[in-house]
Structure 1
Amino acid sequence: MRPQELYAQVGMTHEALSGIVDQVRQLVAAAEVWDRRALTVDDSSVITPAEAADAVAEELRACADALDFAVGHAEAAWSAASRIGDGG
């Protein structure tokens, strides 16, 4: 893959990752507004429905934060790739 092709691919990857971050943030928002009183967990669960819902939101938030970090790296690579040519 030539530098110009890589640049385009990194750009598409950056855009895709950004979209995924947005989707995960929407999932966090959805989980945060669940009515904790209306939730149930299976009988073998050792945590309450509210604790389970909080865990879902916390883990999704951590996922979004990690993806945000990845987006930053993709953006840095995209920027660096924009400066590379191969004379072709």
Structure 2
Amino acid sequence: MHLLFGAAALWQARTASGARSCLMIGGAFYLAFWVHGLIINRDSAANFLPVNNDSNWLHLILGLAMTSMAVFLTRRPGPGQPKTQ
């Protein structure tokens, strides 16, 4: 799963808007995986992701980091600079 997100991120990083979208969507997925890990019974068949406490922490940190970067590291034009996509 992490390799797929990495490959998608490299492909999307060609443009700033693509990178921002990848960070936001990927972060949302990782946060959803975190919630899934919190509510799922680890011994049930519904545990299709091999989640444990370490996985939950990883998904929470990745989700928060990615969505935060998408929001706070967006390049905004300064005074007198043209707006670009």
TM-score per shorter chain, which class?
Answer: 0.5 to 0.7
Partner of residue 50, structure 1:
none
**Which aligned segments of 4 or more residues in structure 1 are displaced greater than 6 angstroms?**
none
Matched, 1:6 2:19: yes
The structure showing larger relative contact order (alpha-carbon pairs under 8 Å, at least 6 residues apart) is 1
Equivalences for residues 5-84 of structure 1 within 5 A: 5-27=18-40, 30-31=41-42, 60-84=52-76
Q: More helix per residue: 1 or 2? A: 1
> What's the RMSD between the two structures over aligned residues?
2.7
Once the two structures are TM-superposed, the CA of residue 87 in structure 1 deviates from its matched residue by 2.8
Number of aligned residue pairs: 61
Name stretches of at least 5 consecutive residues in structure 2 with no aligned partner: 1-13, 43-50, 78-82
What's the TM-score, normalizing by structure 2? Answer: 0.54
Q: List gaps (5 residues or longer) in structure 1.
A: 32-58
Query: Is 1:87 aligned to residue 84 of structure 2?
Result: yes
Distance in 2 between residues matched to 1:87 and 1:66, nearest whole Å: 34
Residues 60 and 25 of structure 1, relative CA distance in 2, 3 Å threshold: same
* SS in structure 2 of the partner of residue 82 of structure 1: coil
What is the aligned-residue identity percentage? 2
In the alignment, the residues of structure 1 paired with residue 19 and residue 73 of structure 2 have an alpha-carbon distance, to the nearest angstrom, of: 7
Structure number with bigger Rg: 1
